[in-house]
Amino acid sequence: MKTVLQTNFNGIDGLTITDTAKPVLTDNGVLIKMAVLPISPTDWKLESDTHATDEQQDKLPRIIGFQGTGTVVSVGKNRDQSLLDQRVLVINPAGVYSEFVLNENPDWMYPLPANVSDESAAALSAGTAWTLKQQIDQSKAANIVITGANSVIGLTLLQMLADESRPIYPIVTAASKPYFIEQMPRLTPYTLDEHPTISGSSIVLDIVGRLDMLTTLEKQLSQPEIVSIALMQAPTLNNFIFVHDEFNADRYRLFIKQLSEGKLTALINRIFPIEQVKKAQHFAKETHSRGRVLVTFGH
C-alpha cells in the first residue's frame, strides 16, 4: 500500500512515498481505507526537528500524520460488526498517511454522521482551539487578544467564542484582513501596528509563535497574560505559559456532533492528491492561512 514516510530530519523535501505492507486485521481491530488527510504545522515541524513540539517522534522511519478520515473495510471479531462500511474519523499516533490504517482502540475512531463530509471531519482542528478557550474562560482579563486569528485554529476558536461578551481584538497581517472579514464579519481585525489602545487587563492567545510580536504586545498592553500554543519557551516574557491540547475522546465526539449541527464549521483551503504531499505541505507552510490544506487518496 502507498505510504508517506519520514526517514530523516531534512524537512518537507525529505519525505518519501513508498510501498509498505497492508496491516493485518486483528480480532480487536478495524481496518480503515483512508480517504482524506489534513496538513498540520506539526507535520513540517516534526519533519525538521523531533523536539519541535511536545510529541516526541524521533524513531525513524515513521508514517506521518495523526488523524484522517476513511471507510471501514474489515472488522475484527471482537469489534462492533455494524462498523463495516461506515465512514469514520480516526486518530492514530503511529501515523495515518497510508492507504490503510488499523485501529485497535475504539476511543480513537469516530463514525461520521451522513451530513459531515470526509473533508470537514479531516479538517477538524477543534482540540487546540478548545484548550485556548479554557484558558479564556478561566481568565479574569477584561480583553481578549488573538494573534494569527485568521488561522484555522484562530477562526475555530472565534466560532467557540460566539457568545463571549468581552472585547476581542483579532491580530492578523494586512494581507489576511479581507479573508478574516469574510469569515468573521462581526469582528474588526487589526494588524500589530494598528490595533487601538486597549485599557484594562488582557489575555493574549498566541497562535503565531513570534517572540518579537509577543514582546511588542507585552509593551503595548498592561501586564498581559500570554498563552501560546506555538512558542514553547519565552523566558524574556512575563506571565507566559505554553499549552497544548490533551487528547479527549468525548470532546472529539462533541466536535463531530457540533459539525453535524452547524455549530462548528470546518475551514478548508486546497485539496491535493497524495502524490503531491510535499507540494501540499509547502503550500500550507508558505502561504497565508485560508483554511486547512487537505490531501486525498484517489481510490
- The helix (H) or strand (E) run that includes residue 40 is none
Q: What string of pLDDT tens digits covers the 299 residues of the chain?
A: 999 999 999 999 999 999 999 999 999 999 999 999 999 988 898 998 766 554 555 689 999 999 999 999 999 999 999 999 999 999 999 999 999 999 999 999 999 999 999 999 999 989 999 999 999 999 999 999 999 999 999 999 999 999 999 999 999 999 999 999 999 999 999 999 998 899 999 999 999 999 999 999 999 999 999 999 999 999 999 999 999 988 899 999 999 999 999 999 999 999 999 999 999 999 999 999 999 999 999 75
Please report the pLDDT score of residue 58 as a whole number: 67
Q: Give which of 137, 135, 189 is closest to 166, Cα–Cα.
A: 137
Q: At what angle do helices 126-138 and 249-261 cross, to 10 degrees?
A: 100
| Structural domains of the chain, with CATH | 2-124+266-296 (3.90.180.10), 126-242 (3.40.50.720)
| Residue-level pLDDT at 92 | 95
pLDDT attached to residue 195: 83
CB 291 within 8 A of CB 152: yes
The confidence score (pLDDT) of residue 166 equals 98
Q: What is the rounded distance in angstroms from the CA atom of residue 215 to the CA atom of residue 198?
A: 16
Dist. CA 27–CA 236, nearest whole Å: 53
Q: What pTM, to 2 d.p., does this model score?
A: 0.92
Q: Report the Cα 229 to chain-centroid distance in Å.
A: 11
Q: Which cell numbers hold the place of 256?
A: 463531530
